């Protein structure tokens, strides 16, 4: 029984450190991140952090992976929670799930901070590319379902439109978390919805 419990405990401890590292990154930023910050956030010693993650970069990569999966799960859930026979409601929910609701939105802020590593790390670049591709796939499906139901009249291929929607979200989101006073979250949402209406021919989105 002791041997069976040990892996579970180790997994839980690793997950706790990943969560603590995410909080530390959100608070201090990547450039200022220290092992001490993670240990303090997790309520453990610095030695405990190094025992499970001898290389800080490995821990940061796990934070990025968890942030990507958590964000995608929340978007898929928002889509799935709407009635399957109402493609417009599902698409609208997907649109609302893609932008930060406030300037200090924790999920988006963490993702944008971690994405900065993509230019210097193949692992982070792969995660960033995977997130983009999977968001495009989610939008592509939503658009194709809307068109198949007769509710959407697409201005281009579903995949091309999906690329544009994700790129718009990324651009607006970056300005929001960067505290650009000229682009309030509500205004960004209005602009994204206006674009979606134009490319789907659906005025009630």
Cα–Cα distance measured from residue 158 to residue 121, given in angstroms and rounded to the nearest whole number: 31
pLDDT value of position 157: 98
Residues 98-122: tens digit of each pLDDT: 999 998 888 999 999 999 899 999 9
Indicate the pTM of the whole model: 0.89
pLDDT value of position 31: 87
pLDDT value of position 42: 93
Residue 7, helix vs strand vs coil: helix
For residues 93 and 154, the answer to whether their CB atoms sit within 8 Å is no
pLDDT value of position 8: 60
Number of H helices and E strands in the chain, helices first, is: 9, 0
Alpha-carbon distances of 24 from 59, 102, 148, 150, rounded to whole Å: 12, 19, 45, 47
Radius of gyration from C-alpha coordinates of the chain? 20
pLDDT value of position 7: 47
Cα–Cα distance measured from residue 85 to residue 95, given in angstroms and rounded to the nearest whole number: 18
Render 100-127 in DSSP notation, one character per residue: -SSTT-HHHHHHHHHHGGGGT-HHHHHH
pLDDT value of position 28: 86
pLDDT value of position 104: 87
């Amino acid at each position: 029984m002791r041997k069976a419990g040990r892996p579970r405990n180790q997994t839980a401890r690793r997950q706790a450190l990943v969560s603590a590292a995410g909080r530390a990154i959100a608070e201090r930023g990547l450039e200022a991140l220290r092992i001490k910050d993670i240990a303090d956030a997790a309520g453990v010693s610095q030695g405990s952090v190094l025992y499970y993650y001898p290389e800080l970069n490995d821990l940061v990569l796990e934070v990025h992976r968890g942030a990507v999966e958590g964000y995608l799960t929340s978007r898929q859930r928002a889509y799935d929670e709407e009635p399957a026979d109402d493609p417009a409601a599902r698409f609208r929910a997907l649109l609302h799930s893609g932008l930060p609701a406030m300037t200090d939105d924790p999920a988006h802020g963490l993702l944008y901070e971690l994405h900065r590593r993509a230019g210097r790390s193949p692992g982070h670049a792969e995660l960033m590319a995977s997130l983009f591709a999977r968001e495009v796939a989610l939008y592509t499906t939503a658009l194709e379902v809307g068109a198949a139901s007769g509710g959407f009249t697409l201005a281009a291929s579903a995949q091309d439109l999906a690329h544009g929607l994700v790129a718009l979200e990324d651009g607006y989101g970056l300005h929001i978390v960067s505290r650009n006073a000229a682009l309030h979250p509500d205004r960004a949402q209005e602009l994204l919805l206006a674009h979606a209406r134009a490319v789907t021919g659906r005025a009630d989105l």
